[in-house]
């Protein structure tokens, strides 16, 4: 009888811990988006070069897009899509393309929810990350040694925890 009570108490404690950790993780999920104009302003305030991608990205079909060049050839791309469904498609396309880079010794993390998605792939030579919040997508594909600078930039914009 005492053993059954102990087991029930332990199970209750474990369930409470799981619920608390789950709520903490859910609370950390970004829900606020930024606009392309805010992305551009932040890029320029940080002293980075901003390039408008409207020449290569069909604005009417996809949305507005720009890239923050933190260093030569080291860019973080941001797209403000015309809808959540277009953002989900864009996010899925990036993730599918990044999966081609898998090789031995890679690490991969992802989370997919209705209005939020994140996918990270690290190989021995590359760091790739995509975040989708509602109708926006931010992605990066850089050499692994450039990871710290792009991670800081994405965290500052709240597109990476």
Reference 158, options 37, 33, 67, 41; nearest CA is 33
pLDDT along the chain (161 residues), means of 10: 78 81 67 91 93 81 92 92 94 90 84 89 92 96 94 91 76
Distance of CA 89 to the CA centre of its chain: 14
Q: Given this model, what pLDDT does residue 114 score? A: 86
3-state secondary structure 37-57: HHHHHHHHHCCCEEEECCCCC
Q: Given this model, what pLDDT does residue 22 score? A: 65
Taking residue 63's Cβ as centre, other Cβ atoms within 10 Å add up to 21
> pTM surpassing 0.85?
no
Distance of CA 103 to the CA centre of its chain: 21
Q: Which residue in this structure is represented by tokens 């992305």?
A: 39
Q: What 3-state DSSP class applies to 16?
A: helix
- Element of type H or E holding 81: strand 74-81
């Amino acid at each position: 009888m005492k053993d059954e009570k102990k087991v029930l108490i332990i199970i209750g404690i474990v369930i409470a811990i799981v619920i608390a950790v789950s709520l903490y993780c859910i609370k950390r999920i970004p829900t606020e988006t930024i606009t392309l104009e805010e992305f551009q302003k932040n890029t320029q305030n940080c002293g980075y070069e901003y390039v408008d991608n409207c020449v290569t990205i069909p604005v009417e079909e996809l949305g507005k897009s720009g890239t923050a060049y933190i260093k030569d050839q080291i860019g973080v791309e941001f797209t403000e899509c015309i809808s959540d469904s277009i953002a989900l498609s864009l996010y899925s396309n990036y993730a599918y393309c990044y999966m081609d880079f898998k090789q031995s010794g890679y690490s991969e993390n992802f989370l997919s929810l209705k209005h939020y998605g994140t996918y990270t792939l690290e190989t021995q030579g590359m760091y790739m990350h995509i975040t989708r919040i509602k109708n926006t997508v931010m992605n990066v594909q850089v050499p692994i040694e450039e990871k710290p600078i792009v991670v800081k930039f994405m965290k500052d914009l709240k597109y990476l925890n």
